[in-house]
Amino acid sequence: MKNWRNILTDTTLKEAIKEAYASAPDDEIIVYTIEMRHPAFTQPLRVVRDHKSFTGTLEASAPENAGEAVEFLPYAFDLELPEIAESGKPEIVLTIDNVSREIVTSIEAAVRTPYLIEITYRIYLMSDPSGPQNDPPMTMVINTVETDVFRVTARAGFADLSKTAYPRKTYTLDQFPSLSS
């Protein structure tokens, strides 16, 4: 899951998780979670890379359920993290195996809309579910997704800021009547 060359230079990781990666103590379990959000979803899809559910507290700045303890459902997934490099567009590849029909239906409904699915990757320590160990958690948008009855495979990257309006506020005559001559 984690590229060992990047651990020491990753400024988003807390010291406790860096220590767990470096020393690999027998009594410490690293928990990998994924959250997917989209307006078509009735609630965020939250999964944990484990064989049992995990309850962890989200960060105070989380887009939904900020600061609350939430449940992540167990699914086998693999995540290829982007390399830390000065050039190129970072991209992750997420593969979730043995997905339920509900997840496939939700994702298929989401891709038929003009909105992108957001994905947040959080790392927890089993001994400390009080908050993610990567601060801030990595949030990206899914650019492409493929589903079948067994698996969901998605490629995600950071939002394309080149298509964002600047300034972000649109000045209209309704809001600013003095713009009219």
From CA 64, how far away is CA 151, in angstroms rounded?
26
Average pLDDT for residues 154-166, to the nearest whole number? 72
- At 40-51, the pLDDT tens digits run 999 999 999 999
- List, for residues 68-121, the tens digit of each pLDDT value: 999 999 988 888 877 666 666 778 889 888 888 888 888 888 888 989 999 999
Q: Phi and psi dihedrals of 34, rounded to 5?
A: -130, 140
Spell out the domain ranges in the chain.
Answer: 4-179
The Cβ of residue 176 has, within 10 Å, a number of other Cβ atoms equal to 10
Q: What pLDDT is stored for residue 53 in this prediction?
A: 96
Cis peptide before 167 (omega within 30 of 0): yes
97-124 per-residue burial string, b: 16 or more CB within 10 A, e: under 16:
eebeeebbebbeebbeeeebbbbbbbbb
Pick from 27, 76, 78: which is nearest to 52 by CA?
A: 76
Task: Tell me how crowded residue 83 is: count the other CB atoms within 10 A of its CB.
Answer: 11
Give the position of tokens 């997917």: 36
pLDDT, tens digit (0-9, with 9 covering 90-100), for 2-29: 454 555 566 677 777 777 767 667 778 8
- H helix runs in the chain, sequence order: 4-7, 15-23, 101-111
Let me know: does 155 contact 143? Beta carbons within 8 Å.
yes
Strand partners, 49: 75
User: pTM for the whole thing?
Assistant: 0.75
